[in-house]
Amino acid sequence: MAAPEERDLTQEQTEKLLQFQDLTGIESMDQCRHTLEQHNWNIEAAVQDRLNEQEGVPSVFNPPPSRPLQVNTTDHRIYSYVVSRPQPRGLLGWGYYLIMLPFRFTYYTILDIFRFALRFIRPDPRSRVTDPVGDIVSFMHSFEEKYGRAHPVFYQGTYSQALNDAKRELRFLLVYLHGDDHQDSDEFCRNTLCAPEVISLINTRMLFWACSTNKPEGYRVSQALRENTYPFLAMIMLKDRRMTVVGRLEGLIQPDDLINQLTFIMDANQTYLVSERLEREERNQTQVLRQQQDEAYLASLRADQEKERKKREERERKRRKEEEVQQQKLAEERRRRNLQEEKERKLECLPPEPSPDDPESVKIIFKLPNDSRVERRFHFSQSLTVIHDFLFSLKESPEKFQIEANFPRRVLPCIPSEEWPNPPTLQEAGLSHTEVLFVQDLTDE
């Protein structure tokens, strides 16, 4: 039979998974996910059940053995202090106690039977937590209405939030579960919890979270801490990287006794918080040092990258410049080669030079820009273009030039233009049998 396909976690489930691992210190992600799935991804119930297991009380998902484990008051892991109700004194006290004993026994027996039977008829409404913060605020208001506003500062948040803050701030968390129906709750709240010296100790040394067990949020915490009687106080702190119950105080405890017990619990476990603070500081310093090293490395890397970029740019600039120079050289060579080919072509196309005794011949002396002289004969009937082609074919001639006559001074139209589409002949240009013409260089113009 194929194993069921594993579902992908949503973002909310992933956040709960990481938060649960952080609160409980469980290293295995599979174990964290399995625990959360057992609690239908209710992180508060999962954390409470985990604390429940740490106290020696079996998880609701693990069947207890034939003899369930009990929290021993002498267990070195959890300090437990229980205040028993005072025994009756004198004949009058014992007489009243014996007379009321049957009535109390009958009352509590009937009440327990009624509650037990009610569970089969209607589920306990406290088992469904819909507004945990509302439960806390409601308890605070009822507490202040009954006992006044002089009380320890209540943590205004859920139990899981209080655990998270205590872990983050490395502080003790004192949890108070209020039993509304218990006979000692009223006296404890009025005389002990609201005593000025108790208020001062709690407000300065720890976080204080409280709720009634008649509220769903308080009932859920009660199921996790498993109190035996009321009033009930539990001291929780970060110990060995886990939120751990380090002290339980149950029963009607007096103010001085409460201060002594809380102080004893804190003094006995203060070293764990000090050690955790030192470890956190060391981790923070290591993290800061690592961050500084990373920043220095990144700065050095960026500087090296910038240097390498500039080197690449310089190499690229030199390469482009060399390519440009090379292209210019090739273009110049190509231009010169084309020019030389053009000169040779013009030279081959020149008509033959007339003989000196030809009456239609013209003797022309050319003065070149380099002060050299060139002499050649042409025919009167030839176009001025022939003169231009002859000069162009000379090695000493510039690439661009114009031919000027001196008397009268004028530029001969040797190249076709808008004014002279067909250049005139030597005779039409008014040249005589012997002429001196000047070649003007136009290459730079």
Residue 254, both tokens: 């007096």
- How is the beta sheet containing 373-379 ordered, strand by strand? 373-379, 361-367, 434-441, 401-406, 409-411
The predicted structure's pLDDT at residue 64: 39
CA torsion, ordered 32, 34, 35, 37, to nearest 10 deg = 120
Domain 361-441 bears CATH identifier 3.10.20.90: yes
Question: Which run of H or E residues covers position 80?
Answer: strand 79-82
b/e sequence 278-288, b meaning 16+ C-beta within 10 Å: eeeeeeeeeee
Strand partners, 378: 362
The predicted structure's pLDDT at residue 60: 44
Could you give the CA distance from residue 185 to residue 181 in angstroms, rounded to a whole number?
8
The predicted structure's pLDDT at residue 49: 67
> Is residue 125 classed exposed, middle or buried when 0-12, 13-18 and 19+ CB atoms within 10 A define those classes?
exposed
The predicted structure's pLDDT at residue 406: 84
The predicted structure's pLDDT at residue 130: 74
User: pTM (2 decimals)?
Assistant: 0.50
Which amino acid is located at 381 in the chain?
S
Query: How many CB atoms neighbour CB 99 within 10 A?
Result: 9
Peptide bond into 125 cis (omega under 30): no
What ranges do the domains of the chain cover? 11-55, 79-283, 361-441
Residue 156, both tokens: 């205004």
Question: Which run of H or E residues covers position 366?
Answer: strand 361-367
Instruction: Find all residues with CB under 8 Å of 210, minimum gap 6, and list them.
Output: 139, 143, 154, 155, 175, 176, 177, 178
Alpha helix ranges (H) inside 148-254: 159-169, 185-187, 196-205, 216-225
Task: Give every residue of the chain whose pLDDT is below 50, as ranges.
Answer: 1-7, 56-76
Name the superfamily (CATH) of residues 79-283. Glutaredoxin (3.40.30.10)
Could you give the CA distance from residue 407 to residue 40 in angstroms, rounded to a whole number?
117
Name the superfamily (CATH) of residues 11-55. Ubiquitin-associated (UBA) domain (1.10.8.10)
